Amino acid sequence: MAINLVKGQKVDVGLQKVGVGLGWDPNQAAGGTVFDLDASAFMLNASKKLPNDQHFVFYNSPRSPDGAVESTGDNKTGAGDGDDETINVDLARVDKEVQEIIFVVSIDEAEVRKQNFGQVSNSYIRIYDATSKEELCKYELGEDFSIETCIEFGRLYRREGQWRFEAMGNGVKTGLQGLIGKYK
C-alpha cells in the first residue's frame, strides 16, 4: 500500500529500479494559456554539486553518463490523467560519486508567459516500482507557490548504503537557471 507523504517526510525505497512520476494540471482560472512544465533531475555528489553537466538529466539530455537516470520525454501540455512526465532510475547503476538525485519541475518560458506554480494544481511526485508499477509513495504539493517558477519536488539520497526518498516541496523564484547555478 502506498504511503502519502508530507513535506519533509522520508521513506526507505528498498527497490533497485524505480519510476519517478510527476504530474500537474493548469488551473482553469489561468485563462487557457498553454503551460509547458518540464521534469528534470540533478545528480549531486557529496558537495551537493553536479559532478559534470551530463549529471543534469532533462528532455534535451535524457540520460545520465552511467545510464542510471533516464527521462522518458517532454509532455508539453500536462493534459490527460496520470503522470505527465516520468524519470526512470536504476539505483544499482548510479555512479558511486552521486549521493542524491533531486527531482525538479519547472515552467518553460515562465517569465515570458507570466506563469507561476500558483496557476498550477494537482501537482505531485510519486515513486513506484518500475517492474511491477506498484506505487511506493506519493507527495502531493499542497502549498500555493504564487511567485515560484520551479519546484524541487523530492529527492532520492543514499544513507548508510541504502536509498531513501524525501518529499521536499521547495519553491524557487529564479526558475531552472537558478537551480543550475546553485548546483553547478
What is the full DSSP assignment across 138-175?
Answer: EEE--S--SS-SEEEEEEEEEETTEEEEEEEEEEETTH
* CATH no. for 3-183: 2.60.60.30
Q: What residues pair up with 20 in beta bridges, in sequence order? A: 87, 127
Measure the CA–CA gap between 109 and 107, rounded to whole angstroms. Answer: 6
User: Would you list the domain boundaries of the chain?
Assistant: 3-183
For the chain, the average pLDDT equals 90
In the chain, DSSP assigns E strands to 3-5, 10-12, 17-26, 37-44, 56-57, 69-71, 85-90, 100-107, 120-129, 135-140, 150-159, 162-172
pTM value?
0.91
pLDDT greater than 90 at residue 26: no
DSSP 8-state class, residue 58: B
Q: Which cell numbers hold the place of 79?
A: 493534459
The answer to whether residues 165 and 3 touch, using CB atoms and an 8 Å cutoff, is no
The predicted pLDDT at position 47 comes to 98
Q: What residues pair up with 69 in beta bridges, in sequence order? A: 89
pLDDT greater than 70 at residue 94: yes
The pLDDT-based confidence of 4 (bands split at 50, 70, 90) is very high
The pLDDT-based confidence of 32 (bands split at 50, 70, 90) is low
Q: What is the pLDDT of residues 142-174, one digit of tens each?
A: 777 888 999 999 999 999 999 999 999 999 999
